[in-house]
Amino acid sequence: MQISGAQMVIEALIAEGVDTVFGYPGGAIMNVYDEIYKQNKFQHILNRHEQASVHAAEGYAKATGKVGVAMITSGPGFTNAVTGLADAYMDSVPLVVISGQVPMSLIGTDAFQEIDAVGISRSCTKHNYLVTDAADLPRILKEAFYIAASGRPGPVHVDIPKDVTAQIAEFNYDIDINLETYKPHTKGNPRQIKKAMEAIAKAKRPLFYLGGGIINANAAYEVRELVHKTGIPAVETFMARGTLSHDDDLLVGMLGMHGSYAANMAASETDLLIALGARFDDRVTGKLSEFAKNAGVIHVDIDPASISKLVNADFPIVGDVKNVVEDMLTQVDIVDADNYESWRETINNFNELHPLTYHEDSERLKPQWVIERVGKLLGDDANISTDVGQHQMWAAQFYPFNRPRQFISSGGLGTMGFGFPAAIGVKAGTPQKISINFTGDGSILMNVQELMTAVEKKLPVINIILNNNFLGMVRQWQTLFYDKRHSETDLSVQPDFVKLSEAFGGIGYRVRTKEEFDAALKDAVEKNVVAFIEVIVERFENVLPMVPAGGSLFNMMLLEKKESK
């Protein structure tokens, strides 16, 4: 079949089963957009900023497990998208981002809207391509989807010059992918798995350390079975929330900088750490030399470069977490759950000593209460996105997650402005669920233009703005570590968020009491339209527990004990 390069892009997307593309057109990608106009196999969602297009594709991918697709133009269109690429790279999100480029004859001439896109994206993508011949497009696009989704997932960037999209060439998508230098190892070594299970059986205080790779590998339910059959307590990273249900007796909580006291102490006291799909991020480990320093380490990961990168693994297992856990389950009979009864009791005592809680306030709503309340009212019916800051940590701490892919947030890069466009992508990918975005009065303004996207496409995201008139997390650090010098973090001058939402065609609420919040959330859900619920919360509330940067997990700043909720 002889077709143009632009038509090839469309045919490849259809062949890959893509149902949603996020993007923003421009001169260099115009030929492809002309073909989008002519087709009816997938929907295109027009974002109002290219960064938002990539974040929306991330939200879609994180919520569905499919490859997210974004399409952008050259020059500033691409540079606007770089933050999204970097965010996806850090969080191992499968994306294919297609950008237009100036014609081949103009590359290197400083032409209008020319930028070295592949040079810029090299450090923040799993792989990238500059297409110089339309005949190569079928192979490149098929490779792009394969690379994005296989092994450790990640974003793949395909840069296509405008004249290449106009070239006519043979389109054949029925081709095999054979990349000599890229062959992900998906099955774990049987001898290593056997040794790991024997080590688990001998341990006195083993602990599962569950990472975001479990979510990426769709392995949460296999991991739940392994945890329950062994009777071994488990801690989750921020990116792994929802691996175990919030009410699971063996879930100790989230660990790390803002992890629970019990989780951080369990990680400090364990004699065998079983890391599944985790990368020992600095926000999890704190002071590396003190992290689980008396423990042996089993490390399972699809990415061989991650194993022993930061913490030496005594039992390294390279493989897909789902496959490895399935193999571990075949040998689980050698593990006696009764052996860990005293260890489980020790962890329960940690939790009773310093439970994850907060102090109520009769004057102002506490942000933690708002998050808990949404969980109580909506629970499993909602998918939760967040921006970055205090509200993000409170959501991870206090929302009752029941399932994998329920929590969508920016982990590694920590991108303010991620939440709203991601929640749009989440809603597009999982329309049967309510899409909630917990955000702050700082973060929401970073991609507020996406109100127009959500209104136009009738994607009813409910944005819950926890307004403390501060850049809250930076203010917290300034309070604790900079002698209360709140440099450029006071956001007392803000727009009227209710009118702002209404100006775009959404609805808005401003609430100060529990009763007002309940009424607003109920109304927003019933109306099923784009909404801002601005919640006036306590200004100086801190996220606790907190491990100071570079500190040891067992040295936490804790909530002062007094009458708690």
Residue type, position 108, single letter: G
Let me know: does 297 contact 311? Beta carbons within 8 Å: yes
Catalytic hit among 197, 473, 546, 556: 473
Distances (CA, A) of 224 to 250, 328, 401: 10, 12, 14
Distance CA 283, CA 547 (A): 9
Q: Please, which residues have CB within 8 angstroms of residue 305's CB and are 6 or more apart in sequence?
A: none
Distance CA 33, CA 77 (A): 14
The strands making up 95-101's β-sheet, listed across from edge to edge, are: 43-46, 20-23, 68-72, 95-101, 155-161, 127-130
Catalytic residue flag (residue 254):
no
Nearest 10 degrees: CA dihedral of 469, 502, 53, 525? 90
Q: Is 335 helix (H, G, I), strand (E, B) or coil?
A: coil
Distance CA 85, CA 121 (A): 8
Which stretch of DSSP H or E encloses residue 63? helix 50-64
Q: Where does 231-281 have alpha helices with state H?
A: 261-269
Let me know: does 428 contact 20? Beta carbons within 8 Å: yes
Catalytic hit among 42, 66, 104, 113: 113
Catalytic residue flag (residue 113):
yes
Catalytic hit among 162, 322, 366, 427: 162
Catalytic residue flag (residue 1):
no
DSSP 8-state assignment for residue 532: E
Distance CA 396, CA 406 (A): 11
Distance CA 407, CA 418 (A): 13
Which stretch of DSSP H or E encloses residue 393? helix 390-398
Catalytic residue flag (residue 50):
yes
Catalytic hit among 39, 41, 112, 170: 112
Catalytic hit among 16, 50, 222, 450: 50
Distance CA 280, CA 316 (A): 14
- Residue 318 has, within 13 A of its CA and on its CB side, a CA count of 12
Let me know: does 147 contact 127? Beta carbons within 8 Å: yes
Let me know: does 500 contact 532? Beta carbons within 8 Å: yes
Let me know: does 122 contact 128? Beta carbons within 8 Å: yes
Give first-to-last CA distance, the chain, whole Å.
Answer: 68
List, by residue number, the catalytic residues.
50, 112-113, 162, 473
